[in-house]
Amino acid sequence: MKAFGYEKNGGSEVFQEYDVPVPEITSNQVLIRTQAFNLNNFEALQRAGKFKPTDHRIIPGRDVAGIAEQVGSDVKGIKIGDRVVAHGHHSYAEYAMGDDTNTVTIPDSVSFAQAAGIVTPGLAGYKGVHLFGNVQPGQTVVVKGASGGVGSIAAQVALSIGAKVIGVGSSRNEEYVKSLGITDYVAYDQQDPAKALANTADVVIDAALNGIGSENDAEIVKNGGIIASVADGDPDTDKDVHFNHIHPTQQITDLQALKAMIELMAQGKLSIKIAKQLPFTLAGVVKGHQILESKHDGRVIVAK
């Protein structure tokens, strides 16, 4: 099968196209004939050697949507031919693997590109709302970075459970965020969110890039409120504030989160912005990684 990977660290030009064997699945896995995969910033950092030097061939990727080609004997609820999405393994390839703990079916109304695009940012956004933010109906939730992958999903998920959502982001993204059903918006380049939203939020979901501006989260949250943030430093405040760092966890399982998000997508209550959809070719992958390393709005998808 065709696969895209690399054997040394560097820029996007290190990617190569390989002919490799189709993966062999175990009894709790699904072999997925890839139709679309999502590119994540982690994969660009991994390729560049930011974590550790590469000393072997790597076929990267987690977020994949496609057709179930083989289904392990212990997998329940998925059959051959089903449309599926997974937080899987080695998705930059014609065939990828998903486990029964991270693979769910998708209806015809949800495209492969949308399904693949929602996986990594969606898991963070969904768990940010339901676990780390413990958002309840009727609460006021301020979402910083509301136009980004994690933030836009968090905003929509919070809205779906009956919270009042206020988005924070740049003025150029206001129209997009409001198109998601978020009627209240504060543009940080036009006013100071800490002053405009002082003591407003029961919950602050801070999904701004790398937690930039997280020092004013404590000014926005009410006394006794919760800050759930992609940043990992507690804010300096005299308030009684609960701070939770949004991180990978199975307290809410990937399976639960993916099922819930796909259901919201099918209901028209959740979407993800796709910046660029690229062809399923080496050139498409290379271009995708170039886009990841430049300023872009939305997910970068490689699709057939």
As a whole number, the mean pLDDT across the chain is 96
Of the candidates 204, 258, 268, 273, the residue with the CA atom closest to the CA atom of residue 30: 258
How confident is the model over 205-225, as pLDDT tens digits? 999 875 566 778 999 999 999
Alpha-carbon distance of 77 to 36, in angstroms, equals 22
Strand partners, 278: 302
CATH architecture group of domain 121-245: 3-Layer(aba) Sandwich (3.40)
What sign does the dihedral 186-190-194-195 (CA atoms) show? Answer: negative
Radius of gyration in angstroms for the set of CA atoms belonging to the chain, rounded to a whole number: 20
Please give the backbone phi and psi of residue 195, each rounded to the nearest 5 degrees, phi first. Answer: -85, -45
Q: Provide the CB-side half-sphere exposure for 234 (13 A, CA).
A: 8
Cα separation of 170 and 286, whole Å?
29
The CATH code that applies to domain 2-118+273-303 is 3.90.180.10
Domain boundary assignment for the chain: 2-118+273-303, 121-245
Element (H, E) at 226: strand 221-229
Determine the pLDDT at residue 213: 67
pLDDT tens for residues 12-66?
999 999 999 999 999 999 999 999 999 999 999 999 999 999 999 999 999 999 9
Q: How confident is the model at residue 238 (pLDDT cuts 50, 70, 90)?
A: confident
Q: Which residues fall within 8 angstroms of residue 293, CB to CB, at 6 or more apart?
A: 12, 44
SS3 56: coil
H or E element in which residue 38 lies: strand 29-39
The structure's pTM equals 0.95
* pLDDT confidence bin for 177, thresholds 50/70/90: very high
State pLDDT tens for residues 133-148.
Answer: 999 999 999 999 999 9
